[in-house]
Structure 1
Amino acid sequence: MDLDQNLHAKIKCLNETLWDGKGSFKKVKAWLNNFEEDEKIHALYLLSQCIYFNDFQIKQLLISIYRDFFKYPHIASIRRSNGNTLDETIIKREFDKIINNTRFVCVGNPSESSARLMGDFRKENNLPKTLFISEFEISSCPKEVEYFVFLDDICGSGNQMVQYTEKVIPLIKSNFPKAKTYYFLLLGTTEGKDFIRKNTNIDVVDSVLELDNSFKAFHVDSRAFKSTPSGIDSDKIQRFTGKSGKRLMSSIFQRIDPFIDHWDLHYLCERDKFGYKDGQYLIAFAHNTPDNTLPVLWYNEDIVPWNSIFKRANKIY
């Protein structure tokens, strides 16, 4: 079996077991047609290195967030405060007080990923919907609320969360001075989480999975090219995905701002050709694909003809 057949067989296996049908032969073939003939085998290898989180995996991560980052730490605290008690009645009574004084807050617009995750988070952890609010409902919460929990799928640079919380966290701190704030993620980079910790007053920032530099496609420590088969050239992949990435991002920036300055456009396209702020990730979720993943994988606009493999929902501003 040659390299092309091997890679197609691997993607077929991934598609049937993990990718929820997102990598069918027809779809992969259409995606490969975005590239020149001599690039296709390299693009196929790149695709085989992608990490896709299906619905089941995401739900397990949401269960882990609630159990390991919120419920268990509070139960441990309750036990310590009650002489290391194992009395389930005491533990349940005290934890019920905590959960009733908690609000889970959607990050950003209700139409975006955080809101979708909140719905699954509520169902998987059997929580009442009255505990889930938007940022606009914060100031009208009962004064007894002591905990505000923000939930998101991925944090790359951390910049977007810092911008989002510039008004939200001060609002919480002014109206609920004793309240504790949490920001929990499915996936988060070390740098992004540290950036949020340093530039916001969020009390706890954590993720189930941590993304180090090995998850960046073209980093020197990249796991994608740690042991490449003969005939695969990582430098070539970096060149043609970067070239296409610039073209695809250019169309997005010009849609957002038709009068964008030429030099600003050049800078932004160079910065984001491998994903937002040079993310370089090969990651997709069942509900959406993060913008810090390579644009050649997710581009789904009408401006440039391009067949995506893992679609990203368009944002209309």
Structure 2
Amino acid sequence: MELKELMNHCIDKWNSGMESDKKIKEVEKYFEKWFSNIPEEYKSMVEVLIKKLEYYPRKVVNNYLVELHNKLLEKGNINDDNTIYVFIKSRSGKGNSSNDYWTEYKNINELNREICYENMYLITNEQWKYIDNIIFIDDFCGTGNTFINEIKSIKKIKKIRKINKTKKMNKINKRERLNKTYFEKRIFYIIIVTTEVGLKEIENYAESKKLLITLVYKFIEKKAFEQKLFITDDETAKESLINLSEELKIPKKQHLGYGESQSLVAFYNNTPNNTIGLMRYDTDVYKSLFPRKNDKKPSWKTMKKNEKERKMTNYNSKIKKGKKYE
């Protein structure tokens, strides 16, 4: 396929019959240069991968969120009196894709804000008796680890020291309450895309812990190098990608995506780290088509680091000046 033809094919697919959004407009500007910079011996392999990559614009995602909500309601016994909607929190406490999609989901589907929770700990013992369904919202499920860790973080009861016993026992009671609550409730995990591996991992976890967990998704994805996409065998194509990634200085852990998910997915708001590194990891010798979002930290977050670097620079400068006069 000629380069221009390849670009048009991909852009048309990613636009889903709509005008290019901001991200795809950027891709259009860079696509030809990006592909031209790929060494000749890897071009056929990369062509297969880029044609297979799925991109989800915001309008398309929002339509899917409506579809998924209707699919959820078909499960039965889901209403404002027995259901809460939550998101998977980031370890850093900052916003993430789950938070973004939870916000979109509740607005598009006009959910009652009284049942959309940022913090489940605010629900009292008495109120928990009436909740039958806990709905998590996210964009993508790769290995399944993020979701499972969220469930574990709420189920886990930590040992509490005797210091400030009363205050800390209150925290224990909250954790015990949620631990018991999970065994009595239906848990739904709503996502646009899940991998086969992630789906199986969560199902196995739910079975082992006797939890009622159901994934509600639009698409399910197989690993890129297990789909027989290439003229050569999949293993040879995978080795070719790894070799190219090494040439482009992409770190080893990023070659096949997080957990070696081998995903080929990008969303309007970000690209999952499960997507293979070639599509989303920039280096000093390579610029990807769908780089992960890397927001600049505000000055108050970098002041201490900058001050330390300035002191080190000044110190090194004094050392050098001292050497000149030796």
Correspondence 1:10 to 2:19? no
Cα shift at 1:199:
1.9
Partners of 2:155 and 2:64 in 1: how far apart?
25
Is this contact kept in 1: 2:87–2:102, CA < 8 A?
yes
How many residues are aligned here? 262
The one-character-per-residue Cα deviations of 1:59-116 (angstroms, maximum 9, x if unpaired) are: 12211222112x2322xx5xxxxxxxxxxxxxxxxx6xx3144221110225111000
Partners of 1:26 and 1:6 in 2: how far apart?
15
Partners of 2:196 and 2:239 in 1: how far apart?
27
Aligned to 2:34: 31
Is this contact kept in 2: 1:190–1:210, CA < 8 A?
no
Cα shift at 1:239:
3.7
Is this contact kept in 2: 1:4–1:41, CA < 8 A?
no
Aligned to 2:117: 133
Q: 1:292 aligns with which of 268, 274, 286?
A: 274
Aligned to 2:153: 167
* Range with bigger deviation, 189-198 or 237-246: 237-246
Correspondence 1:60 to 2:60? no
Aligned to 1:43: 46
TM-score, normalised to structure 2's length? Answer: 0.68
AA matched with 1:99 = D
Correspondence 1:152 to 2:138? yes
Partners of 1:239 and 1:41 in 2: how far apart?
14
Is this contact kept in 1: 2:250–2:278, CA < 8 A?
no
Correspondence 1:216 to 2:216? no
The answer for unaligned runs of 5 or more in structure 1 is 78-94, 251-268
Cα shift at 1:295:
0.8
The answer for unaligned runs of 5 or more in structure 2 is 157-174, 298-326
* Range with bigger deviation, 289-298 or 145-154: 145-154
Partners of 2:239 and 2:200 in 1: how far apart?
31
Cα shift at 1:58:
0.9
Partners of 1:218 and 1:65 in 2: how far apart?
28
Aligned to 1:265: none
Aligned to 1:73: 75
Aligned to 1:241: 241
Q: 1:117 aligns with which of 92, 101, 106?
A: 101
The residue matched to 1:277 in structure 2 has which SS? helix
The one-character-per-residue Cα deviations of 1:202-223 (angstroms, maximum 9, x if unpaired) are: 41221323425xx42221x34x
TM-score, normalised to structure 1's length? Answer: 0.70
Measured at CA, do residues 63 and 298 of structure 1 come closer, stay the same or move farther in structure 2, by a change above 3 Å?
Answer: same
Q: Which has the larger radius of gyration?
A: 2
Cα shift at 1:248:
5.0
* Range with bigger deviation, 144-153 or 7-16: 7-16
Partners of 2:265 and 2:258 in 1: how far apart?
13
AA matched with 1:4 = L
Measured at CA, do residues 141 and 248 of structure 1 come closer, stay the same or move farther in structure 2, by a change above 3 Å?
Answer: farther
Cα shift at 1:28:
0.6
Correspondence 1:22 to 2:24? yes
Partners of 2:188 and 2:268 in 1: how far apart?
24
Correspondence 1:207 to 2:216? yes
Partners of 1:282 and 1:177 in 2: how far apart?
35
Aligned to 2:171: none
Measured at CA, do residues 49 and 144 of structure 1 come closer, stay the same or move farther in structure 2, by a change above 3 Å?
Answer: same
Measured at CA, do residues 234 and 167 of structure 1 come closer, stay the same or move farther in structure 2, by a change above 3 Å?
Answer: closer
The residue matched to 1:243 in structure 2 has which SS? helix
The one-character-per-residue Cα deviations of 1:166-224 (angstroms, maximum 9, x if unpaired) are: 12245423357643322222112233222112224541221323425xx42221x34x4
Using the aligned pairs only, state the percent identity: 19
* Range with bigger deviation, 104-113 or 43-52: 43-52
Q: In the TM superposition, what are the counterparts of 1:267-278 in structure 2 within 5 Å?
A: 269=252, 272-278=254-260
Correspondence 1:309 to 2:289? yes
* Range with bigger deviation, 144-153 or 50-59: 144-153
Is this contact kept in 2: 1:151–1:183, CA < 8 A?
yes
Is this contact kept in 2: 1:139–1:175, CA < 8 A?
no
The one-character-per-residue Cα deviations of 1:258-310 (angstroms, maximum 9, x if unpaired) are: xxxxxxxxxxx26x42111221121111111111111111114xx53431211
Is this contact kept in 1: 2:86–2:117, CA < 8 A?
yes
* Range with bigger deviation, 107-116 or 188-197: 188-197
What is the CA RMSD across the aligned residues, in angstroms?
3.2
